[in-house]
Amino acid sequence: MPTTTEHSLLLAIVDDLAESGWSQQNHLVAQDLTRELAAECRKRAAQGGLSPASIGRGATQVVREGVRGDQIQWLERGQSAASDRYLALMDGLRQALNQGLYLGLEDYESHFALYPPGAFYQKHLDRFRDDDRRAVSVLLYLNQDWLPEHGGALRLYLKGEPEAGEDQQGERLHDIAPLGGSLVVFMSAEVPHEVLPATRERLSLAGWFRRRGARPL
Ligand code: OGA
Ligand code: MN
């Protein structure tokens, strides 16, 4: 069960998604949990548990470092106290989203991601052409002491009033530094985004709430 404070932050995410399609919360995930998850990600990397991320799905999966250069490992329940605590918190978010927005979210899949210095992920939507189950994307950043000069921002391409900083399509760019404890949530089908290269190793935990599929896998 979420605490009262967690509950009000979960409701704030629901309101933000309804209003603008995205939300950032820096206090939902406790600093001690963020640090434990960062340590777990580093440990998995040191043990050789991470593999180059691919793009596409099923038989069409390929590794393309010119598109995305991160290394990932999927989370399973029961692997550590920290990841279970994180998954429980995400289940609270799933329920709040279902109650507030009637999204019918059924499960949550997530992976640790490590971007070596210079790695990036080109502009994309978190939806596969042949699978529209991913409905809401969640990113948790795990980097302590991140400075603006380290780069590595998550760049969101938001709809809205074009203003200074817009690109040709009239989208509004919004950059978010991958600072430890920042949680970013957005509608998977609505918000194109990219990861800019960083000068140091960049750790994140990326996840997706999924609806039941219209078609079998
Ligand atoms: C992704 C993604 C962003 C990040 O894995 O689909 O967009 O900041 N990750 O790690
Ligand atoms: Mn993405």
Q: Is residue 192 part of a domain?
A: yes
pLDDT tens for residues 192-215?
A: 999 999 999 999 999 999 998 765
Q: Is residue 217 part of a domain?
A: no
* Cα–Cα dist 127/189, whole Å: 6
Q: Is residue 216 part of a domain?
A: no
Contact 211, 104 (CB under 8 A): yes
- pTM of the model as a whole: 0.93
Tokens 């530094």, located at residue: 177
- 64 phi and psi, to 5 degrees? -135, 95
Which helix H or strand E contains 205, and what residues bound it? Answer: strand 202-211
pLDDT at 124 exceeding the cut of 90: yes
Contact 189, 124 (CB under 8 A): no
* Cα–Cα dist 178/146, whole Å: 7
Q: In the predicted model, what is the mean pLDDT of the chain?
A: 92
Percent of the chain at pLDDT above 70? Answer: 94
Average pLDDT over residues 133-156: 97
Task: Name the residue type at position 209.
Answer: F
Beta strands at 202-211 and 134-141: parallel, antiparallel or unpaired: antiparallel
Ligand 2 mean position to 88 CA, how many Å?
Answer: 22
Confidence of residue 47 (pLDDT cuts 50, 70, 90): very high
Q: Whose CA is nearest to atom 10 of ligand 1?
A: 204
Return the ligand 1 atom nearest residue 184 CA.
8
Number of domains in the chain: 1
Q: Is 206 in the pocket of ligand 1 (CB under 6 A)?
A: yes
Contacts with 80 (C-beta within 8 Å, 6 or more apart), sequence order: 36, 40
Q: Whose CA is nearest to atom 6 of ligand 1?
A: 126
Point out the least confidently predicted range of 52-61, 72-81, 99-108, 137-146: 52-61
Q: Is residue 165 part of a domain?
A: yes
The CATH number given to whatever domain includes residue 100 is 2.60.120.620
Domain span at residue 179?
A: 4-211
Q: N- to C-terminal Cα distance for the chain?
A: 32
Q: Is residue 74 part of a domain?
A: yes
Q: Is 113 in the pocket of ligand 1 (CB under 6 A)?
A: yes
User: Relative to the alpha carbon of 175, which ligand is closest?
Assistant: 1
Contact 89, 7 (CB under 8 A): no
Q: Is 126 in the pocket of ligand 1 (CB under 6 A)?
A: yes
pLDDT score, position 167: 56
pLDDT score, position 161: 64
pLDDT score, position 165: 58
Q: Is 41 in the pocket of ligand 1 (CB under 6 A)?
A: no
Q: Whose CA is nearest to atom 9 of ligand 1?
A: 206
Neighbours of ion ligand 2 (CB under 5 A): 126
